[in-house]
Structure 1
Amino acid sequence: MKKLPESLQTFRSFQDFQIFVNRNEGEWRMPFEWHEPLEIFYVLSGRGKYYIENKVYLFEPGDLFIIGNHELHKSQLLNQEPFEALIIMFDPALANIVQLNDGLDPLALFYERTEDFSHQWKVDPSIRPKLQWCFDLMMEEYGRKEGYSLRTIGSLLQWLLLELKKGYGRNRRYNQIESWNGIHLKPVVQHAMEYINKCYCENINLSKLSSELRVNPSYLSREFKHNTGFSVIEFISFKRIWHAKEMLLYTDKPVTQIAYQVGFNNVTHFHWMFKKMIGVSPNRYRKLPKIFYNLKKY
């Protein structure tokens, strides 16, 4: 298995299952990411572009993607058109919560693939109501105040994966739409990203980072932007806000404490940056229903 940049790993505090609606608009961007849970991405509205490993896809409403747990990927806006997608993240073990000796592996789609495999399934309109029915039941169960049942979610997930297996079995092979060979980080950029990942909560900037890596600041700035699409400062802010989101979700720490803990020395600036990237204030984000917990608006 290839070694992936630890700095691009997301959903580190993940537990079992999540389902949420992700709306992206305006100046939203995201760096490449990878995560341990498996992902199902279903387009509800709008159009965009998806990069998964060395493949590129254009998507529209009704398109569905499955993404493995060690695949670098990112979605992006197309012509500034907003899009909305339903995201399901799940621990692979959850797909086998109900076991039968029928020889079927509900996770085969994620692991048994040919080189021309397409992550994208353009779901036939006649099948969409069935999938939406399953998504609605998952949303309802996941949103229960007393907590969701793993058996219920696992059973729905198994049904969904078997439907996806049928659909992908009739799916078209991958058709390249543009030249793309995947992400290839220069060593200096990867070292910079790993340093930021470890020290994001400290007072770091381009000058300090360049000094630590013993490279020219202008060179590092240029190569970082070229390789990642983000400036060094933007990437530092991304890491800080991402960790702040997780702390808002999984701890009861006050917002002020979180701001300082992730590296901001000015709480007002933290509030401004959080709202710019996420679309709502930290306090509002903490109170949102769980189906909106993982907005990624940057």
Structure 2
Amino acid sequence: MVIYDTIKKYSETFNNKTLHPLINLVDLNKSNELVRTKFTLNFYAIIIKETNCGDIRYGNKYYDYSEGSVVFFSPNQIITNEPEGELHQPYGTALIFHPDIIRGTSLGKQIHEYSFFGYQSSEALHLSDREREIVNHCFENIATEISQNIDRHSKKLIVANLELLLKYCSRFYDRQFITRENANQGIIERFETLLNNYIFSEKLKTEGLPSVAYFADELHLSANYFGDLIKKETGKSALEFIHLKLLEAAKEKILDTTKSVSEVAYELGFKHPQHFTRLFKQKIGVSPNEFRGLN
């Protein structure tokens, strides 16, 4: 596996000059042919890749935007460039920046909120003409800033433009979730089916409480993308959605007076009955015993 531990190493691999030790705009088209291999970065990367409408699928649908796709990588994420071992000509533009350049800034404190850095490549952002213009403009502003002599304003301006770019990407992802509403609805339905099957089978007893990561994996999505999709489609986080379904099943079980609340908790996959009681009271408004008494 290739480890790109510095901005300089990544830039030089693709035959680009290093204009700043902590951030650079890399023209991948300048590269010679490279062997496809696994690699990891010690920094963030935002890469625009050219696509043609209909050439690549997004899930079961063809891309409906043809002005390029944007993929996001966070530090230490392992990336597989398939098929491994094959020669290929890199293409596109990569904006790479080290965590040190945003450390201590508002962006540094909020970078975790941009969850798309944890998406898979298949969950890329696909741009319209106008969106591509905006992203290019942000790239150009950053390139201009890192191409000139560094002064006391450089870091603030670079970080401000980075933050602006990420805010636009958040907006464009919101648009993408909306334009793929039909495809997303299919994912929601499959999620509900998987969740119901999990709750009303023996899995709660054998596997314990279902996790967000479990359903994301079953649906072949990254946990971040899956969580964002559920939130945008239902208004609830994926964990809240799971808890609500679980508590609906709990209500039925609690009405069976032959079982204690602890037995119900264990049947629902809770290791500690007090955790179940706390969650039930928090979401339903009364304790399990009080709910049983009222009904």
TM over 0.5: no
- Higher RCO, 1 or 2 (CA under 8 Å, sep at least 6)? 1
- TM-score range for the pair, normalised by the shorter chain length: 0.3 to 0.5
TM-score (norm: length of structure 2): 0.42
User: Greater CA radius of gyration, 1 or 2?
Assistant: 2
More helix by share: 2
